[in-house]
Structure 1
Amino acid sequence: MTQSTLILLVRHGQTPTTGTVLPGRAPGLHLSERGRAQADAVAERLSGLPVHAIYSSPLERARETAEPSAARAGLTISEDAGLLECDFGDWTGAALAGLTGLPEWQTVQHNPSAFRFPNGEGFSGMQARIVGTLDALRAAHPGAVVVCFSHADPIKAAVAHALGTHLDLFQRIMISPASVSAISYTDGQAPAVLMVNSTSEPLSGLRAP
């Protein structure tokens, strides 16, 4: 019998620098008060699903978002480096206001498949990393519901891949803080994107087709 694995991709909650800085992989960035409330809300939304496993990026803001969901489900958080934020290299910690005027910013927005952050990761490599990670997780949990707490760009790249959308168009996908996106994976079939950037819809009825 063919089994479908449902993977829910959750972006971490809001931090004090969300929308103003590229924090990248720098340690020490924690959720804001609003972010902690968003994490609790995610746990409430997930409570109606038979979650089998919870994975998180090792960064603090992702783990802190995952903690209420893991506590409610009675599960341990498994860290997976494949869910990490993109490595922004020399741009780590830079203010977005200062980056948007750079010529390279146009490449980031309109031709990201050709862009690699100085001394960091390229978008193509990031997409290959997150897609490979999700492939491994669905193979490890056939027929189960798996929740992965990650970051905006990797989630956008995973959703674009599942949709069959070219990476150069992935910036058109919006992934808000504490949003949930759902992808169903069935062996021998194309992935089915069931939900993108959901911040309020109930999840209790969500099942892999």
Structure 2
Amino acid sequence: MSDSRGSTTVLLVRHGRTPTTGELLPGRSPGLHLSEQGWEQARAAAERIAELTVSALYSSPLERARETAQPSVELLGLPVREDPALLELDVGQWTGRALNDLNRLPEWRTVQHNPSAFRFPDGESFPEMQQRMVDAVQRLCTFHPGGTVVCFSHADPIRGLLAHAMGTPLDNFQRLSVGPCSISVLSYPAAPDGADEPSGDDTNPVVLTVNSTRDSLRELVAS
């Protein structure tokens, strides 16, 4: 049962491996599914998540994220709700291009070292991606005060949210490792007495773990 006076815990799960992981920049390409290794990773993540008392499951609408959520749906007996705010970064004209080709472009250096100044051609900027993730998770916390929420998303959106939570400049967010099916955990404080939702400094979350793939989550999250 949720306790509206307690902190809300948010688990951020990157989708599992696909056949193109590390080779292409998939962006929001439809029809990209988990590889067999990705399904194994998703099942292992689900077993870890199932140790907790979970309030709700949310997922990016893309297939690879929804498939990663499916073993958790089966173990927990909860539906997964699609949330477009958890989508992958929109890389516009770069969608589906080989990473080996992209890293030869002069713009690639900006992507790696000054992403706050970059917008993908016909796509999204990194600051826009970060802000929609921040807004989305704060919104979900108001829906499940004192609960534990699991969000299945993508590497860059998760990194952007973690950088914001840490107070790290967006230009440094590439330094954060978020591997396939890793779980990162944030704890968001409850709204002050008399307030419907946190504001100002009260929204600052506590970063409990980043890029966790093996250890039990019980020690981090009170279930």
TM over 0.5: yes
Q: Percent identity?
A: 60
Residue number in structure 2 paired with 1:11: 14
- What secondary structure sits across from 1:120 in the alignment? coil
The one of 189, 192, 198 equivalent to 2:212 is 198
1:86 aligns with 2:89: yes
Q: How far apart, in 2, do the equivalents of 1:132 and 1:154 lie? A: 12
Q: How far apart, in 2, do the equivalents of 1:12 and 1:189 lie? A: 26
Q: CA deviation at 1:207?
A: 1.8
Question: Do the aligned residues in 2 keep the contact of 1:47 with 1:204 (CA within 8 Å)?
Answer: no
List alignment gaps of at least 5 residues for structure 1. none
Question: Do the aligned residues in 2 keep the contact of 1:111 with 1:168 (CA within 8 Å)?
Answer: yes
1:25 aligns with 2:39: no
Tell me the alpha carbon deviations over residues 15-73 of structure 1, each in whole angstroms, 9 at most, x when there is no partner: 00001100010100000000000000011111110011000000000000000011111
Residue number in structure 2 paired with 1:152: 155
Q: How far apart, in 2, do the equivalents of 1:61 and 1:189 lie? A: 30
Residue number in structure 2 paired with 1:35: 38
Q: How far apart, in 2, do the equivalents of 1:199 and 1:207 lie? A: 15
Question: Do the aligned residues in 2 keep the contact of 1:52 with 1:145 (CA within 8 Å)?
Answer: yes
- TM-score (ref. length: structure 2): 0.91
List alignment gaps of at least 5 residues for structure 2. 192-201
Question: Do the aligned residues in 2 keep the contact of 1:22 with 1:93 (CA within 8 Å)?
Answer: yes
What pairs with 1:130-209 in structure 2 (closer than 5 Å)?
A: 130-186=133-189, 187=191, 188=202, 190-207=204-221
- TM-score (ref. length: structure 1): 0.97
Measured on the aligned residues, the alpha-carbon RMSD in Å equals 1.0
Runs of 4+ in structure 1 deviating by more than 2 angstroms, as ranges, are 187-190
Q: CA deviation at 1:189?
A: 5.4
CA change 1:189–1:93 in 2 (3 A) is closer
Q: How far apart, in 2, do the equivalents of 1:185 and 1:121 lie? A: 27
